[in-house]
């Protein structure tokens, strides 16, 4: 009886995960592509983080808040891509994950998605203060305020996603198959045969509030910035606004489009494969593009990179 109970508990805690579906022809290209993408994401984001940390001229509120972005991008890529690479080398029938590991992966994945919005929201607020209240900027954007904004960005994600996954963990599950390349909240609560109404209501409310807050706050911020720039005759201020805001806006649009594609594809069951790939791309494309965009578009960061490469070239000679 004890052996049967132990076996039942074992099967209860072990889940089959679909992983990344590849054929013999696409095995090597898929593995190499994701491996190179992961290396690039980690090197570029950690490099950007080190560059801002080590460069004293970049120790300003705008760049300190920017540090949240590469941290979040590296976190999001690390929870997904290594597991995908592991599943690729495993036969489809041997792709297993424990229930606890699945919960952790889902939690970090949802924190990544939520923080992508909240970090860009606090960065938009920083740009708003810098352009609309330049004289009060040093008194508003103090170190204390930067810490408060950072805690807000991460705290909101940790708490709201914690509730989201907490409602799922409470459910018993009668199925053991994750029909997705990775674990997420919908995949987890679909394992249960219980009533899912509370989970669905909270999930939809959470998504709607996050997106409404994100789009609404950033739209209002840019409308206000546009008004100030149109009234201002200061060409230097307008040029700075265009440079810094265009970079931020481009990153935000990429995050928004990747997330929007996933939401739309959820409404079309026939496009299951496309939805799964869109979910993977959400945790690969923005983390890969963000450091490139900020590195090329932000004058101070670009200059710092050029100075480093210039010194290395001189040393080599």
User: In the prediction, which pLDDT does 5 show?
Assistant: 41
Give the number of other Cβ atoms within 10 Å of residue 207's Cβ.
15
What's the rounded mean pLDDT across residues 75-85?
Answer: 91
pTM of the model: 0.88
Considering only CA atoms, which of 79, 38, 66 is closest in space to residue 301?
66
**Where do the structural domains in the chain lie, given as residue ranges?**
1-315
Q: Token digits for 151?
A: 């805690």
User: If we measure between CA atoms, which residue out of 36, 40, 78, 32 comes closest to residue 295?
Assistant: 40
Cα dihedral: 204, 207, 208, 213 (round 10): 160
Please tell me the distance from the alpha carbon of residue 55 to that of residue 65, in angstroms, as a whole number.
15
Q: Provide CB contacts within 8 A for 25, sequence distance 6+.
A: none
Per-residue confidence at 193, pLDDT binned at 50, 70, 90?
A: confident
Determine the pLDDT at residue 115: 95
Alpha-carbon span 84 to 105, nearest angstrom: 12
Confidence of residue 310 (pLDDT cuts 50, 70, 90): low
Range with top average pLDDT, 27-36, 101-110, 194-203: 101-110
Helix (H) or strand (E) holding 178: strand 177-178
Helix axes 68-89, 143-169, angle to 10 degrees: 30
Q: Does domain 1-315 have CATH number 1.20.1070.10?
A: yes
If one compares 162 and 26, the residue with the highest pLDDT of the two is 162
Spatial CB neighbours of 198, under 8 Å, sequence gap ≥ 6: 167
Contact of 290 with 115, CB cutoff 8 Å: no
Q: Which residue has the tokens 């991460």?
A: 154
- In terms of residues, how long is the chain? 317
Say how far apart CA 111 and CA 263 lie, in whole Å.
17
**Number of H helices and number of E strands within the chain?**
13, 3
């Amino acid at each position: 009886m004890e052996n049967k109970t132990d076996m039942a508990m074992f099967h209860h805690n072990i889940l089959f995960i679909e992983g990344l579906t590849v054929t013999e022809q696409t095995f090597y290209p898929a593995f190499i592509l994701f491996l190179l993408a992961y290396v690039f994401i980690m090197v570029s984001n950690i490099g950007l983080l080190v560059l801002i940390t080590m460069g004293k001229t970049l120790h300003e509120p705008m760049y300190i808040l920017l540090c949240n972005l590469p941290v979040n991008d590296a976190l999001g890529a690390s929870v997904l891509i290594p597991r995908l690479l592991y599943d690729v080398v495993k036969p489809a029938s041997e792709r297993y994950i424990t229930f606890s590991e699945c919960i952790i992966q889902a939690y970090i994945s949802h924190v990544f998605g939520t923080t992508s919005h909240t970090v860009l929201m606090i960065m938009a607020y920083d740009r708003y203060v810098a352009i609309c209240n330049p004289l009060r900027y040093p008194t508003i954007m103090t170190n204390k305020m930067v810490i408060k904004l950072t805690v807000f960005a991460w705290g909101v994600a940790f708490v709201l996603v914690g509730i989201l996954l907490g409602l799922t963990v409470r459910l018993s599950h009668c199925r053991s198959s994750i029909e997705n390349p990775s674990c997420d909240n919908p995949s987890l609560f679909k394992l249960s045969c219980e009533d899912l109404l509370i989970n669905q209501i909270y999930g939809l409310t959470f998504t709607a509030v996050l997106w409404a807050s994100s789009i609404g706050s950033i739209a209002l911020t840019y409308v206000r910035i546009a008004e100030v720039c149109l009234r201002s005759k200061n060409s230097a201020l307008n040029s700075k606004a265009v440079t810094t805001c265009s970079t931020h806006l481009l990153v935000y649009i990429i995050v928004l489009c990747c997330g929007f594609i996933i939401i739309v594809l959820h409404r079309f069951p026939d496009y299951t494969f496309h939805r799964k790939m869109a979910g993977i791309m959400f945790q690969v494309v923005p983390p890969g593009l963000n450091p490139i965009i900020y590195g090329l578009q932000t004058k101070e960061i670009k200059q710092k990179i050029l100075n480093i490469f210039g010194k290395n070239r001189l040393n080599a000679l």
